[in-house]
């Protein structure tokens, strides 16, 4: 358990960190968590937490990440590794490029490395607008453009181009500054191609709009998340399909073994999702492991600050 030393005269007493809140002066408010220099998109993990939050990378920060889809070893002939580079253009604007690299792993019907390439590429940008609308509510706008590259294996792509603009709002509670609630609006404008593809159980084949909301509880290098979303094709297409989803999850930014106050390269996330849609209802669990680093940082490590 973490502890804090209080020195009174010659006597030294140790008080649990959890009890420090009771030592605050009457009427004072809990301190807000220190901002994460890597921005809120550091929390994004495929099938664990997929909601954009407002803050961005600090200026000139460069963030590299690699996320191998280990479940592909069992369910697909090819192993995907989602690889991303994010860069802070300014303290309030970041850009990124993400690609799904793949190769045949040899445990399926295709020999090892007979297939390889980049299944798709996604270019993204996000701008943190601060609090232009409501006091205490951070706001950001952003978007991405995703498209298949070359002629990827059909099991690794849906064969569509996606333009995905969004706006997101986030608010930290004064009484519990480690708890933030969020809400976002988004659209997915698709363009069909001649490439064959594979769709998930409740994946739309047409353009759609969506509303998402939930909360994140930050506790040192642990983040407890909850997302709820509603997406529909009714507003911008002639089809009438709806998908609803709820997903609680946990994200752990793993500290190093040498110093538990130093964040390592590795992040693990676990989530359970329940989805209702035209393809039927489904419940599933996901576990994701991601490697991240800052190539411009000599040691690739950043101290973990309380609430970060």
pLDDT on residue 153: 86
Are the beta carbons of 159 and 195 closer than 8 angstroms?
A: yes
Which domains, and CATH codes, for the chain?
34-303 (2.40.160.40)
pLDDT on residue 115: 86
The CA–CA distances, whole Å, from 16 to 8, 20, 34, 247, 281 equal 16, 7, 21, 33, 45
pLDDT on residue 6: 37
pLDDT on residue 12: 38
How far apart CA 101 and CA 116 sit, in angstroms, is: 8
pLDDT on residue 109: 83
pLDDT on residue 294: 81
pLDDT on residue 195: 92
Are the beta carbons of 47 and 69 closer than 8 angstroms?
A: no
User: pTM here?
Assistant: 0.82
pLDDT on residue 265: 82
pLDDT on residue 82: 95
Which residue matches tokens 């408010």? 29
Annotate 22-75 with DSSP letters as a single string.
GGSPTTPPPPPPPPPTT-GGGG-BTTTB----S--PPTT-EEEEEEE-TTHHHH
Which residues have a Cβ under 8 Å from the Cβ of 120 and sit 6 or more positions away? 99, 100, 146, 147, 148, 149, 152, 156, 157
pLDDT on residue 21: 41
Burial class (CB in 10 A: 0-12, 13-18, 19+), 26: exposed
For the chain, which ranges sit under pLDDT 70? Answer: 1-33, 257-264, 297-308
């Amino acid at each position: 358990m973490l502890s804090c030393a209080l020195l009174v005269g010659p006597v030294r007493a140790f008080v649990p960190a959890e009890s420090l809140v009771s030592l605050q002066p009457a009427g004072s408010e809990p301190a807000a968590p220190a901002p994460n220099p890597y921005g809120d998109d550091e929390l994004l993990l495929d099938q664990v937490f997929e909601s954009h939050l407002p803050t961005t990378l600090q200026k000139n920060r460069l963030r590299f990440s690699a996320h191998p889809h280990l479940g592909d070893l069992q369910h697909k002939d090819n192993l995907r590794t989602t690889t991303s580079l994010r860069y802070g253009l300014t303290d309030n604007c970041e850009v990124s490029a993400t690609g799904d690299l793949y190769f045949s792993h040899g445990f399926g019907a295709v020999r090892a490395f007979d297939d390889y390439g980049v299944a798709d590429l996604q270019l993204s940008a996000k701008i943190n607008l601060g609090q232009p609308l409501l006091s205490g509510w951070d706001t950001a706008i952003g978007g991405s453009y995703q498209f298949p590259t070359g002629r990827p294996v059909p099991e690794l792509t849906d064969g569509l181009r996606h333009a995905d603009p969004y706006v997101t709002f986030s608010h930290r509670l004064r009484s519990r500054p480690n708890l933030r609630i969020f809400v976002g609006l988004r659209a997915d404008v698709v363009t069909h191609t001649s490439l064959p593809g594979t769709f998930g159980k409740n994946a739309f084949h047409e353009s759609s709009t969506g509303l998402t909301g939930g909360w994140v509880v930050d506790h040192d290098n642990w983040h407890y998340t909850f997302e709820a979303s509603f997406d529909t094709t009714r507003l911008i297409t002639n089809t009438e399909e709806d998908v609803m989803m709820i997903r609680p999850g946990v994200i752990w930014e793993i500290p190093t073994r040498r110093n538990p106050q130093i964040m390592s390269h590795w992040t693990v996330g676990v989530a359970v999702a329940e989805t209702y849609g035209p393809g039927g209802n489904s419940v599933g669990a996901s576990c994701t492991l991601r490697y991240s680093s800052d190539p411009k940082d000599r040691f690739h490590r950043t101290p973990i600050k309380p609430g970060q």
